[in-house]
Amino acid sequence: MSLHKSRYHEVAAEIQLQIEQRIWLPGDRIPSIRKMSQIQHISPMTVLKAYELLESEGWVYAKIRSGYFVSAHLNRLAIPKQTTPQMINRAIKINEHVFDVLKSCKRPDIVPFGSAFPDPSLFPLRQLGLALAKTIKTMPVQSAVTELPPGSIALRRAIAKRYIRDGIDVSIDDIVITSGAMESLGLSLMAVTKPGDTVAIESPAFYGVLQTVERLQLKAVEVATDPQLGMSVDALMAVVERHDIKACWLMSKFQNPLGALMSEENKLAIRDILVEKKIPLLEDDVYSELYFSEQKPKPIKAYDEQGLVLHCSSFSKCLAPGFRVGWVVAGRYAKQVEQLQLMTTLSAAVPNQLALAQFVLHGNYDVHLRKLRRLLAGRQQQMQNAIELYFPSETKITRPEGGYFLWLELPAHINTANLLQVLLDEHNISIAPGTLFASDNKYQNCMRINCSYAWTDKTKRALITLARCIH
Ligand SMILES: Cc1ncc(COP(=O)(O)O)c(C=O)c1O
C-alpha cells in the first residue's frame, strides 16, 4: 500500500516538474489517464490518484469528458509597471536594513531568498582551488610588485580576449583589475565626480549604488525605470535637461533588483543622450554572463564610440564568488582609476588574479557558464511558477531573461520590512525588502527574491510559508 502511494506521488512530482519547466503550458492538456498508465507502466488508478493530487494542489484542473489541463493561473500574475520616482536632486541616505539583510545571509540555517549572492554550489570550487594552489606554488616572487594596478597582465589579456570575441573593441591598457565590481564602480564614480555633484541612477537601484553615492557625498536623481526595459529613455532625457548631471550609473542587462534588459534601441538612445551632454556612463554589468537566450545581449559599451562608458564587471556572480576579482574597462579614465586604486586599496589580491587568468584561459570556463545559465533559467522558472500558484492574485512579478532575481510588488498594505522581521524571527527565511533599493522608503510593498538556489522541498516549504505570511 505504501509503495503504491509513493508511486503516485512520484508521478505527480514528475508532471509538476514538467509544468514548472514549461514543457506543459497553462491550458495544455496533459496525457490522458490511459496514455499515462501505458507510458509509465502503472495502473490507471495510480495515474488517477497522481492527477487528483495535482488537482488538489492547483497545478491542473479536470474538464468532464475532456481530461486534465494545466491551470491557467500559472501565468496569471501581472508584470509591475514602470516606477514613478519624484526625480528630484537630493542627498542619499542608505536604509539601515541593508546591514541586517547582509548579516542574515551569513546564517547557515536561513533560507536566503533575501541574499544577493548566488548559490555557492553552482561554482567549480574544486578546480578553482587547484588553480589557486598551482598559482601559489609557481608564481614569481616579484608578482606582488609586478601585478600592482592596473593588475595582472595575464588576466587583463584573458578579459580583453572575451570582449573582442563579443565584438567589443577593448585594449589591455583600458582595463583595471579591482577587488570585485563594487570597487570598480566606486573608483569609477570617484574618477568622474567630486563631492556635491549629482548622479542619475535607477529607481529602484542596487543598494551598492546608494551606499557609494552616500559615501562619496554625492547627490542623486532617481530616474523612472521599467521592470522590463530598464531606465526610461524619456525620463533620463527630462532629468539631464533639468539637472546638472555629472555621471549616470545604470545596468542595461538584468538590472538588480528588477531584472530588466534594455532593448538595443533604448541602449542607443541612452548613449545618444549621454554623448550629447558629455555625461560619463558607469555601466554595471555583473550579470552579463547569466543570460538565458541563445545570444549574449550586448552592453551599451558595445556602442561607445566616444569612450564615455566605464564598463564594470566581475567574476563574483559567474565563476568565483569570494575571490573578489573584478574589473573596469575604463578607457580614457583608466589612468585616473588606477591612481585612485593605488591611493585606496592598493591592489586586488594577486594570487586570485593569476588563478582566475589560468582558469579563464585554460579551464572549462565556457562549459561551466553554459551549465550555469541552464540551471539558473530552470530554477527561476520553478520559483516563478510557485509564486504564481501560492501568492495573492494582486501580486505583480517580473519575468527576467537572465540573472537570478525576481522583483515582486505585493498588495499596497503589505510592508515587506515588517514581513522580513517576522520571517527572520519565526521562520528562518530572509527576503530583500523593497525599501533597500531606494532612498526614501519607496517600494515598501515590494521585495526581491533570490532564485539561484536548488528547488528542494525545503525551498518550496519556505516559499509556501512566505506566501502564507503575506496572505
Ligand atoms: C548590481 C550589482 N553590482 C555590483 C555588485 C558587486 O559585485 P562584486 O561582488 O563583484 O563586488 C553586485 C553584488 O551583489 C550587484 O548585484
Give me the DSSP letters along 350-404: HHHHHHHHHHHHHS-HHHHHHHHHHHHHHHHHHHHHHHHHHS-TT-EE---SBSS
Q: Which residue, by CA, sits nearest to atom 14 of ligand 1?
A: 116
Q: How many CB atoms lie within 10 A of CB 45?
A: 12
Q: Which residue, by CA, sits nearest to atom 13 of ligand 1?
A: 116
63 grid coordinates: 474538464
Distance between CA 73 and CA 53 in Å, rounded? 17
For residues 448, 454, 458, 461, the Cα torsion angle rounded to the nearest 10 degrees is 50
Distance 254 CA to ligand 1 centre (A): 12
Ligand 1 atom at minimal distance to the Cα of residue 256: 1
Ligand 1 atom at minimal distance to the Cα of residue 251: 1
The pLDDT assigned to 3 comes to 45
Q: What residue type is assigned to position 145 of the chain? A: V
In this structure, the residues whose C-beta lies within 6 A of any atom of ligand 1 are: 116, 180-182, 206, 208, 251, 256, 284, 286, 314, 316, 326
**CB within 8 Å of 30: residues ≥ 6 apart:** 15, 24, 36, 51, 60, 67, 68, 69, 70
| Residues 440, 443, 445, 451, CA torsion sign | negative
Strands (DSSP E) found in 143-183: 175-178
The pLDDT assigned to 143 comes to 83
The pLDDT assigned to 2 comes to 44
Distance 390 CA to ligand 1 centre (A): 30
Distance 360 CA to ligand 1 centre (A): 20
- Structural domains present in the chain: 2-75 (1.10.10.10), 124-365 (3.40.640.10), 367-470 (3.90.1150.10)
208 grid coordinates: 551598492
| Residues 215, 156, 123, 230, CA torsion sign | positive
Q: Which residue, by CA, sits nearest to atom 1 of ligand 1?
A: 256
Distance 123 CA to ligand 1 centre (A): 17
User: Nearest 5 degrees, angle CA 369-CA 373-CA 374?
Assistant: 120
For 58: left if phi > 0, alpha if psi spans -120 to 50, otherwise beta; the answer is left
Distance 312 CA to ligand 1 centre (A): 10
- What's the DSSP call for residue 74? G
The pLDDT assigned to 1 comes to 40
pLDDT per residue, tens digit, the chain (471 aa), is 444 558 999 999 899 888 877 788 888 999 999 999 999 999 999 999 999 988 877 789 898 889 999 987 777 899 999 999 998 998 988 777 788 777 887 888 999 999 999 999 999 999 999 999 999 999 888 887 888 889 999 999 999 999 999 999 999 999 999 999 999 999 999 999 999 999 999 999 999 999 999 999 999 999 999 999 999 999 999 999 999 999 999 999 999 999 999 999 999 999 999 999 999 999 999 999 999 999 999 999 999 999 999 999 999 999 999 999 999 999 899 999 999 999 998 889 999 999 999 999 987 899 999 999 999 998 998 898 889 888 998 999 999 999 999 999 999 999 999 999 999 999 999 999 999 999 888 999 999 999 999 988 899 999 999 999 999
Ligand 1 atom at minimal distance to the Cα of residue 116: 14
Distance between CA 99 and CA 87 in Å, rounded? 26
Nearest to 418 by CA among 405, 434, 406, 394: 434
Distance 282 CA to ligand 1 centre (A): 13
Pocket test for ligand 1, best of 258, 316, 404, 407 (most atoms within 8 A of CB): 316
The pLDDT assigned to 423 comes to 95
Are 466 and 431 in contact by the 8 Å Cβ rule? The answer is: yes
Pocket test for ligand 1, best of 101, 115, 182 (most atoms within 8 A of CB): 182
Distance 259 CA to ligand 1 centre (A): 14
Q: How many CB atoms lie within 10 A of CB 200?
A: 26
Are 471 and 422 in contact by the 8 Å Cβ rule? The answer is: no
Nearest to 448 by CA among 109, 105, 183, 123: 105
Distance 17 CA to ligand 1 centre (A): 31
| Rounded alpha-carbon distances, angstroms, from residue 323 to 178, 179, 317, 352, 353 | 11, 8, 11, 6, 8
Phi, psi of 323 (to 5 degrees): -75, -20
Q: Which residue, by CA, sits nearest to atom 7 of ligand 1?
A: 181
Distance 313 CA to ligand 1 centre (A): 8
Distance between CA 365 and CA 385 in Å, rounded? 30
Distance 182 CA to ligand 1 centre (A): 6
The pLDDT assigned to 255 comes to 98
Pocket test for ligand 1, best of 187, 189, 206, 225 (most atoms within 8 A of CB): 206
